[in-house]
Chain A
Amino acid sequence: MFKKIVIKISTLILILIGLNFVYNFTLYKKDLYEKSEQFIEIKNEQATTDIFYFAESSNFNVRENDSIMNSISEITNFFFPSLKLTAINKPAAHAGIFKAWLKSIDVKKNKAKAVIITLNMRSFDAAWRHSVLETQLQESVVLVQPYPNLVNRFLLSLQAFDNKTDEQRNKEMLDDWENVKLEFPFDFKYKTVREWDVSFGQYGWDLPDGSPEKNKILLTCHYVKAYAFNLNEKNPRIKDFDEIAEWCNKNNINLYLNLLAENIEYADSLVGKELVFLMKQNRDYLVKRYNKGNCKVIDNLELVNGLEFTDQTWTTEHYGYRGRMIIARNVANTLKDQFSKEYIKAY
């Protein structure tokens, strides 16, 4: 019986290898396009592009009445007209997703000499890490895991990825806010995000008639939840970016961490200097950790003023033309070192 089973299993394995070939030539591309067209874009562009620009929604969101509607990556490209800069975008993407994109680049075919990874500070926070959008993002990278494509497709059907329910994710987020201690080099009365958040919920802003100014309280609380955290190497996004840096280093590609501008003005006026302190401290952490070797941090954190943010009632990193222009110029200035011959003073 044992011999019979071994023969059957061997036959089955051979069939599976054959089926994997059939799948690669028939349905794989269609599936990949359905789940994450970004991988197809990368495959199509890698042989001809000079710079990859990986970004979330900040890149392509514009203000309705902007006179110029170009994205940050397009404006950046104006400074290097002879180079091909290819933007790959996906809303809510973060370092974990960019890592998968990056690793899908075929180094033998790749022409790109630089990769710009756009990150916003919030992508490291608990709300973003435990966002309900995470399931879809994780689903989008299953098909490029380092297994045979047919196996990846089957894993997708089995939902074998970080596929938590919305309730589970919300619980993890609340647990983080409740339990992770905030660290300050000075005395501060609130020890966790939850304590800080509740304080504003209870003693927030009042209207002239003495009633609570609900929208402002909501926004203030949101600022606390979005930026009150201490970055350290335990943060999974840091681990992801470490892998990104390692991969770029190994493959001799220059890496640029494009740290987006946040609305520091509003953070200060709504919450106070303690929150701004944390934001700057986290920025400094990223600069210190990654500004070395073939990696550079493009620090935009404080460059854009409050009114340039298109969304005045939330913390989204979407900018009006002037804001996009400032960031693009900063990116171009940093890239200038690597591509000095191709650089022109476009603005």
Chain B
Amino acid sequence: MLFNSLHFLFFLPIVVGLYYLLPQKFRWILIFISSCYFYMVFVPKYILILFLIIIIDYIAAITIEKIEGRLKLFYLIASLTANIGLLAFFKYFNFLNENLVSVFSLFGQEFHPVNLSIILPIGLSFHTFQSMSYTIEVYRGRQKAERHLGYFANYVLFFPQMVAGPIERYETLGNELKAVHKPLYQNFSDGFKLVLFGLFIKMVVADNIAPYVNQVYLDPLKYSSFEVLMSIFLFSFQIYADFFGYSTIALGCAKLLGINIMNNFKTPYLAKSVSEFWSRWHISLSTWFRDYLYIPLGGNRVKIPRWSINVLIVFMISGLWHGASWTFVVWGALHGLMLLLERYFSMLFKFEIKKEWSGLNVFLVIKTFVITSFIWIFFRAESFQKAKDMFRALTHNQNVYPLQLDILMPVIFTALMIMFDLFLYNSRFDSKLNTFKTPYRWAFYTVILFCLMALSGTQKFTFIYFQF
């Protein structure tokens, strides 16, 4: 089910209403059924994959907790293999085959792979990673294995964040799901604000920018260099508004049930460096990779050359996590490379970014934004040829006029997004808004509500991160 659908606008109040009407001991059943329903609206049969992940990790965690020694590691590896295996099959099977064909043809050989028409289950990368974090934590002894299958299932299935994160840890979401939540006015109020704001940035900002960007990426060489450049910058805001919007709605839905989930974004385009960008963008994924890949590889404790390789590995795998294509790997690798360059630069010139805002910091923010925007090209382009076309199109036609695409609305909404980012710097929408006096707060609601109802995009765009 999409958050930005009429279906969901009926579904959510019903679930919230029933949740508070039911006694605590039955609430997990409601969350379980509603989450299954939420997921099954997409492709019903794929719920079976989720059930499989739940069963495997539920049993694996209990077993890991019970036993000692090498067998413990064996069960962990078995659980991880099952999770990664499912992900690999659904997401990377055809990609692997395509690469094998290329490798074979390089040596003049022919390879005829079995091509399966597999549809990637929505959000598979998210729930496998979430579930894996639980088994790893149990293995490390930091988390007790959950005995209640229902609660564990809800941890993997919890509908607000099941298809596009945030990727939660069991110690937070698991406990939140078990806690007794009373119907508090503040939760309703904050939840409503977050859902409203999330819908606003998805439907008004992202969906009004999307047609412009899609048009240019369809055939970049048809447009002027100016339009191509604008589409590169606009895509940065489109994907941000799209994903931040989703995460904010997720946060709001959970809040309506009294459940707190993590903030996935902290105004990432106000980052002064690429490394800071990654501490502000898709935080739940960055911390997942930090805790379960970067640190096990040695983290900061290794020598510079090894550390550099580790950073590149982490970013390339993070790229591959996003999509089964080399363009994503390059996207990740470029981020890794930029992060390394920044680190080398600061070591070489003993340069440190100061926290206080200054002209230099503004320059650094703009620099970081421009770098990430250009790297997004590899994320957005379906192929290297398309990415190449985008770069070629940047210089091929330098006449600004006549403009072929109407840029006014996308630019207005982007400006609005920038204003919101400045307004929300290091804080969350609901808490920021709570500092306003009532008339100003309601004036704000009125404007957002009007934009949402009267100015939202009218084309169908699903959330970009659903594909991962």
Contact = CB atoms under 8 A, between A and B. Distances in A.
Interface in B159-207: 183-185, 188-189, 203, 207
A37 B228 CA distance: 31
State the majority secondary structure of interface residues on A: helix
B185 A19 contact: no
A5 B188 contact: yes
A154 B446 contact: no
A67 interface: no
B5 A158 contact: yes
Given A1-B183, A4-B185, A150-B453, A157 B446 contact: no
Contact of A23 (B4, B6, B188, B453): B453
When A and B form their complex, which 7 residue pairs have the shortest distance between CB atoms, in order from nearest? A157-B456, A160-B6, A154-B453, A1-B185, A158-B6, A23-B454, A19-B450
B446 A19 contact: yes
Nearest to A150: B453
Interface in B71-88: none
Contacts of A251: none
B183 A153 contact: no
Interface residues on A, range: 20 to 34
Contact of A157 (B184, B449, B450, B457): B457
A155 B5 CA distance: 9
A153 B5 contact: no
A27 B454 contact: yes
Contact of A15 (B9, B189, B449, B454): B449
B450 A22 contact: yes
A235 interface: no
B95 interface: no
A23 to B, nearest CB: 5
Interface of B: 4-6, 9, 183-185, 188-189, 203, 207, 442, 445-446, 449-450, 452-458, 460
Interface in A21-39: 22-23, 26-27, 35
A16 B449 contact: yes
A232 interface: no
A143 B183 CA distance: 37
A155 B9 CA distance: 11
A154 B445 contact: no
Contacts of A139: 458
Give the residue among A11, A153, A158 with the most B Cβ atoms within 10 A. A158
B450 A5 contact: no
B450 A158 contact: no
B460 to A, nearest CB: 5
Contacts of B458: 35, 139, 156-157
Given A11-B442, A35-B458, 19 more contacts: A1-B183, A1-B184, A4-B185, A15-B442, A15-B445, A16-B449, A16-B453, A19-B449, A19-B450, A19-B453, A23-B454, A27-B455, A139-B458, A150-B453, A153-B453, A154-B456, A156-B458, A158-B4, A158-B5
Interface string A9-23: 001100110010011
A35 B458 CA distance: 10
Nearest to A139: B458
Interface in A154-171: 154-160, 163
Contacts of B203: 157
B188 A19 contact: no
A35 B455 CA distance: 14
Contact of A159 (B184, B185, B460): B460
A229 to B, nearest CB: 30
A1 B185 CA distance: 6
A158 B9 CA distance: 10
A139 to B, nearest CB: 8
A147 to B, nearest CB: 12
Contacts of B183: 1
A8 B196 CA distance: 15
A179 B193 CA distance: 49
Given A5-B185, A11-B442, A160 B5 contact: yes
A157 B455 CA distance: 9
Given A5-B185, A159-B5, A160-B5, A23 B450 contact: yes
A210 B386 CA distance: 47
A8 B441 CA distance: 12
B183 to A, nearest CB: 7
A15 B185 contact: no
Contacts of B189: 8
B109 to A, nearest CB: 36
A4 B186 CA distance: 11
Nearest to B456: A157
Contacts of A5: 185, 188
Nearest to B184: A1
Contacts of B449: 15-16, 19
B9 to A, nearest CB: 7
B188 to A, nearest CB: 7
A12 B460 CA distance: 27
Contacts of B454: 19, 23, 26-27, 150, 153-154
A157 B207 CA distance: 9
A150 B454 CA distance: 6
A197 B457 CA distance: 42
A12 B456 CA distance: 19
Nearest to A151: B453
Interface string A289-304: 0000000000000000
A145 to B, nearest CB: 12
Nearest to B8: A158
Contacts of A1: 183-185
Contacts of A155: 6
